[in-house]
Amino acid sequence: MDYGLTLALIGAGLAALLAGIGSAIGISTAGKSATGVLSEKPERYGQMFIMVVLPGTQGFYGFLAAFLVMLNLNFFAEEGVPELSTTLGLQVLIACLPIAFAGLVSAIFQGRVCSGGILMAAKRPEMAFKAGVVYAVMVEVYAVLGLLVTMFMLMFGIDWPT
Amino acid sequence: MPELAEQAILDFYTYPPIGGDDWRYTFQTAQVRTLEIQMLSRAALLDMANAENFEQAADLLSGSEYALPRGGKDFAEVEEILQQRRAAVRELFSDLMLDEPTVELFRTRDDFANLRLAVRRTMTEKPLGTDYSSGGNVPPELIEQIFSEEDVFSKPVFPDYVQEAVEQAVLAYYQQKDIRRIDYAIDSVQAQYNLRQARRLRSVFLLGFFRIQIDLTNIRTMLRLKFTESEQPNVFLEGGFIELERFRHGLELGYEALGPLFFVTPYHRIVDTGANYLASNKSFLRVEQQCDEHLTGFLKSTVLITAGPQPIIAFLLMKENEIRTVRLILTAKKNHLDTKLILDRIS
């Protein structure tokens, strides 16, 4: 009996799940900082917004990877999902891991960087973009790299059944 | 937590470690960061000190939270506003701190202050009075009642730290019949209690803060003993970063040799500047100012913390310091003190 499809689905699930968990934690950290500042300075909402939503991107990256797996497995086609060998399923699972873990960890730490940026923006609004957002984007880069590796492996490294 | 172990003095240059982040305090830290913006700037305080008179100094507060009611120029009104602000800051601190034992620890400051008053008055057979602070853990009414009935020892009703402080203070007073011994004894109990609690709370920041406080108290004590030429080498507090032998040795040296004696410590500038000013002006203004500045510098280093109790504790203490400075300037202006003296104290 082949477990290929199960393994591939676990891979897609992990990509969406772990990156999503990371984003939720990151947004909650940044969001708590933002609400703390906004409780005293509500006029800073615009500046805070970008830094609160930035850790949310990893969740979308995870979703994108999972969607790519589902697309290649013909989830949305009428003919149904094809049989997958265990080896192929394992390849799909491994291909999903970069964005799953890079997304999880980078989102949590990006949330902390955003939190620091929010505190700085509270005192030095002119530095909100220059330092707050730019530093947070630096963390984002590694989530993007994770997504790219996952996408390249899924698109060019796996011989999907037709 | 290895940082909680006793630290050698050379482990840091100016300030000891302040500990790491605690992400439970994300919201609270952000709130105090925003409130810090509303604090009076150094320039505003200097403007107040340079004002021609009390009225002008009070006018400079009109755009701040300390603004007097329209037309109000009475010092009693100022005092009331300052007390209201202090109560509000303490209430905010109590709301923001998630660790109740830390709030209780800071409330004990008022307990020890109340105790100093009550024991001093009892020992010198003066009226007990009713002017006790209500910000402590022990209700002022209980202190009044127990001391008026002279029932402190027969049935202990105070918390352990208060009971210990009373016993030590009374014992210290009767040993030498010296009223200052009461303060030394209570200071000592308070310092040891603070250190014990900081260790129990596993707070690197609080431990560092209380140890700096002990060092600064010892520096002040050393200079006061030198100035009054008293010989009481056993009044220094234990538990600071500096070994007590250095302070005792300082008592034997001249003012000019104190700076070099403390050269290897983080307090070199405080001792050097304070001792020189004391020698030339016969005044403790500069050492008090330098001690305040050192402590404020340590509190300001909490800017490195993104989330944690440290910025909240620092905010409480800096805000209380701001209130004290405003009171100091306005009192000095009301009493027509020389502007240079005020500047020496605050700048």
Say yes or no: B330 and B238 in one domain: yes
pLDDT recorded at residue B7: 52
Say yes or no: B239 and B192 in one domain: no
Tokens at residue A120, please? Answer: 């700085």
The partner residue sitting opposite A36, judged by closest CB among B21, B27, B36, is B27
- The answer to whether A5 and A74 are in contact (CB under 8 A) is no
Say yes or no: B192 and B105 in one domain: yes
pLDDT recorded at residue B131: 80
Kindly determine whether residue B23 and residue A37, on different chains, have CB atoms separated by under 8 Å: no
Q: Which of B149, B177, B200 is the last residue of a domain?
A: B200
Q: Is residue B43 part of a domain?
A: yes
The answer to whether A6 faces chain B, any CB pair under 8 Å, is: no
Kindly determine whether residue B30 and residue A29, on different chains, have CB atoms separated by under 8 Å: no
Say yes or no: B27 and B124 in one domain: no
Q: Which residues contact B111 (CB under 8 A, 6 or more apart)?
A: B136, B137, B138, B159, B161, B162
Total domains in chain B come to 2
pLDDT recorded at residue B21: 93
pLDDT (mean) for B5-12:
56
Q: Which residues contact B22 (CB under 8 A, 6 or more apart)?
A: B307, B308, B309
Question: Which of the two residues, A154 and B340, has the higher pLDDT score?
Answer: A154
Please report residues of A whose CB lies closer than 8 A to that of B307: 29, 33, 115
Say yes or no: B266 and B298 in one domain: yes
Q: Is residue B93 part of a domain?
A: no
CA nearest to A108 within chain B = B23
Q: How many CB pairs under 8 A join A and B?
A: 53
> pLDDT tens across B265-314, in order?
999 999 999 999 999 988 898 999 999 999 999 999 999 999 999 999 99
Of the pLDDT bands very low, low, confident and very high (cuts 50, 70, 90), residue B2 is: very low
Q: Is residue B86 part of a domain?
A: no
Taking any CB pair shorter than 8 Å as contact, residues of chain B touching chain A are 21, 23, 26-31, 33-37, 306-307
- Half-sphere exposure in the Cβ direction for B143 (13 Å, CA): 30
Q: Is residue B146 part of a domain?
A: yes
Say yes or no: B274 and B332 in one domain: yes
Range of the domain at B31: 2-68+202-346
Kindly determine whether residue A40 and residue B35, on different chains, have CB atoms separated by under 8 Å: yes
Kindly determine whether residue B34 and residue A35, on different chains, have CB atoms separated by under 8 Å: no
pLDDT recorded at residue B1: 45
Q: Which of B21, B22, B27, B304 to mutate to test the interface with A (most CBs of A within 10 A)?
A: B27
pLDDT recorded at residue B72: 59
Residue B242: pLDDT above 70?
yes
Kindly determine whether residue A33 and residue B307, on different chains, have CB atoms separated by under 8 Å: yes
Burial category of A36 from C-beta neighbours within 10 Å (exposed 0-12, middle 13-18, buried 19 and up)? buried
- The answer to whether A143 and A57 are in contact (CB under 8 A) is yes
Kindly determine whether residue A122 and residue B37, on different chains, have CB atoms separated by under 8 Å: yes
pLDDT recorded at residue B13: 80
**pTM exceeds 0.80:** yes
pLDDT recorded at residue B124: 80
- Half-sphere exposure in the Cβ direction for B292 (13 Å, CA): 18
CA distance A137 to chain B (A): 18
Q: Is residue B92 part of a domain?
A: no
Say yes or no: B261 and B291 in one domain: yes
CA nearest to B36 within chain A = A123
Q: Which residues contact B54 (CB under 8 A, 6 or more apart)?
A: B73, B75, B330, B333, B334
Q: Is residue B78 part of a domain?
A: no
Three-state secondary structure of B155-190: CCCCCHHHHHHHHHHHHHHHHHCCCHHHHHHHHHHH
Please report residues of A whose CB lies closer than 8 A to that of B21: 112
Domains in chain A with CATH codes: 4-156 (1.20.120.610)
Of the pLDDT bands very low, low, confident and very high (cuts 50, 70, 90), residue B119 is: confident
Residue B71: pLDDT above 70?
no
Query: Rounded to whole angstroms, how far apart are CA atoms B166 and B153?
Result: 9
Three-state secondary structure of B191-235: HHHHHHHHHHCCCHHHHHHHHHHHHHHHHHHHHHHHHHCCCCHHH
Closest among B23, B27, B309 to A34, alpha carbons compared: B27
Closest among B176, B155, B166 to B120, alpha carbons compared: B166
- The answer to whether A97 and A91 are in contact (CB under 8 A) is no
pLDDT (mean) for B228-245:
87
pLDDT (mean) for B119-141:
83
Q: Is residue B322 part of a domain?
A: yes
Q: Which of B200, B228, B246 is the last residue of a domain?
A: B200
pLDDT recorded at residue A77: 84
Instruction: Pick out chain A residues at pLDDT < 70.
Output: 1
Kindly determine whether residue A37 and residue B31, on different chains, have CB atoms separated by under 8 Å: yes
> pLDDT tens across B185-226, in order?
999 999 999 999 999 999 999 999 999 999 999 999 999 999
Q: Which of B175, B200, B225 is the last residue of a domain?
A: B200
pLDDT recorded at residue B6: 54
Of the pLDDT bands very low, low, confident and very high (cuts 50, 70, 90), residue B175 is: confident
Please report residues of B whose CB lies closer than 8 A to that of A34: 30
Let me know how many helices (H) and strands (E) chain B has, helices first.
15, 0
Please report residues of B whose CB lies closer than 8 A to that of A35: 27, 30
Kindly determine whether residue A115 and residue B34, on different chains, have CB atoms separated by under 8 Å: no
Say yes or no: B196 and B212 in one domain: no
pLDDT (mean) for B6-16:
68
- The answer to whether B15 and B301 are in contact (CB under 8 A) is yes
pLDDT recorded at residue B140: 84
